[in-house]
Amino acid sequence: MTTTHDTARPSSAPALASAATRRPGGPRFPLWLVRIALIAAFLVAIEFSVRVEIIDPFFVARPSSVLVQMGSLLTDSEFLSLVGITLAETFVAFGLAAVVGVIVGFLLWRFRALGDAFEPLVAALFSSPIVLLYPIFLVILGRNSAAIVALAAVFAVLPTILFTKQALGAVSQTMLNVGRSLRLSAWSNFRYILLPAAAPTIFTGLRIALTYVLIVVVAMEYILQIGGLGRFVSEASLLFRATDLYVSVGLIVVISAGFIWLINRLEKVVQR
């Protein structure tokens, strides 16, 4: 006698995962569509609350007015130059933090005595309010974008170092032994075994580093009245231009989302 208990089994792991997460008989919606729907619902609620003055329109601008003003400002060359300054400072600071952080983290993992000596110091610095040292950066580098980039990079390099060392140290020794048994070169062992295994934790550190970079860049632009969107936020708040204030904040959120998307794409490439 034969049985048919296994005839409906999914033929692959992705199919099994999809079957496990699908609600029986329920509709399936793309995750990006759910996110857009939630954001749209939130904006509609804010729009309604401001229009009927549940929320004071003096302090909170209507989302519709913000979108119209954003479209107008994005055609203004002077405003676009401010956006470009913030993008450039963020990109340079994050690039420096990522490269230096990954290299130093690798060295702290590769040379155990070095890691044991310096990891507590890095962790202590990471928990310190380094942003308060900005006057020192201004004295050394001057009141310019270089000081902002340097401070943001120093702030962001610390989590990158810590997460890189932690990620590499958590890679299974069995996997490394497999690479040696296959007589892989040091580079091949790093590229195809060590790096893909450590990538999720390393890129978690990079996402945290990006958060710190954006915070420091915009905050220093705001405080020092230098450069890009942070300065625009300061001017808008001082002059009580609520719509301009929310336009700049919205663009900062968009910039952050764009950088996060790029990091996620890079992570997928590294894990191949």
Q: What is the pLDDT of residue 96?
A: 94
Q: Is 58 helix (H, G, I), strand (E, B) or coil?
A: coil
What pLDDT digit, counting tens, does each position of 191-247 carry?
Answer: 778 888 888 899 999 999 998 999 899 989 888 888 788 888 888 888 888 888 888
Express as a percent the part of the chain with pLDDT over 70. 89
Is residue 114 in some structural domain? yes
CB 93 within 8 A of CB 141: no
Taking the CB of residue 139, how many other CB atoms lie within 10 A of it? 10
Tell me whether residue 196 is in a domain: yes
What distances in angstroms separate CA 16 from CA 13, 24, 55, 83, one per listed residue? 5, 14, 48, 45
Per residue in 245-269, pLDDT tens? Answer: 888 888 888 888 888 888 888 888 8
The boundaries of the domain holding residue 156 are 77-270
Residue 11 lies in a domain: no
Number of domains in the chain: 1
Residue 231 near residue 221, CB atoms below 8 Å: yes
In this structure, how many other beta carbons lie within 10 angstroms of the beta carbon of residue 239? 10
CB 193 within 8 A of CB 176: yes
Per the domain annotation, does 212 fall within a domain? yes
What is the distance between the alpha carbons of residues 58 and 242, in angstroms, rounded to a whole number?
A: 7
Q: pLDDT tens digit string along 124-170? A: 888 888 878 888 888 888 888 899 999 999 989 999 999 999 998 88
Q: Which residues contact 80 (CB under 8 A, 6 or more apart)?
A: 74
Distance CA 80, CA 179 (A): 50
Give CA separation, 246 vs 35, 61, 233, in Å: 20, 7, 8
The answer to whether the beta carbons of residues 228 and 214 sit under 8 Å apart is no
Q: What is the DSSP letter of 47?
A: H
CATH number at residue 227: 1.10.3720.10
> Is residue 30 in some structural domain?
no
Residue 9: predicted pLDDT: 43
Measured between alpha carbons, how far is 101 from 93 in angstroms, rounded to an integer? 12
Q: What is the number of alpha carbons within 13 Å of residue 204 lying toward its C-beta?
A: 10
In a domain, 50, yes or no: no
Position 150 scores a pLDDT of: 93
The reply to whether 167 falls in a domain is: yes
Among 7-11, 114-118, 192-196, the minimum mean pLDDT is found in: 7-11
23 in a structural domain: no
